[in-house]
Amino acid sequence: MRHTTEDRHRPAGTEPLGDDRSAGSPEPGSPGCLYALSQPPLMLFLGVVAGLVFLAAAHDLFLL
């Protein structure tokens, strides 16, 4: 409960420290999530995992 009690322990006349991160926009240099999804190794990994999940689901559905 730090966010509810920090005002009680602050000396009089001092302002709370601001957060350095901006709440709205990412940094202009950060490529973002779509850039990460466009990388071939990540897509290969996700494809293999999705294939294994599909095979397990098909096995459970048709063979058990």
In the chain, how many H helices and how many E strands? 3, 0
Which two three-digit tokens encode residue 26? 């990412």
Q: Is residue 18 part of a domain?
A: no
* Contact residues for 6 (Cβ-Cβ < 8 A; gap 6+): 16
Does any domain span residue 62?
yes
Range of the domain at 62: 39-64
In this prediction the pTM is: 0.48
> Count of domains in the chain?
1
Secondary structure of 11-36 in HEC code, one letter for each residue: CCCCCCCCCCCCCCCCCCCCCCHHHH
63, part of any domain: yes
In a domain, 32, yes or no: no
Q: How many Cα atoms within 13 Å fall on the side-chain side of residue 24? A: 0
Residue 58 lies in a domain: yes
Q: What's the confidence (pLDDT) of residue 60? A: 96
Question: pLDDT digit string (tens) for 4-62?
Answer: 655 566 666 666 556 555 556 656 777 777 887 788 999 999 999 999 999 999 999 99
Within-domain flag for 12: no
Q: Is residue 49 part of a domain?
A: yes
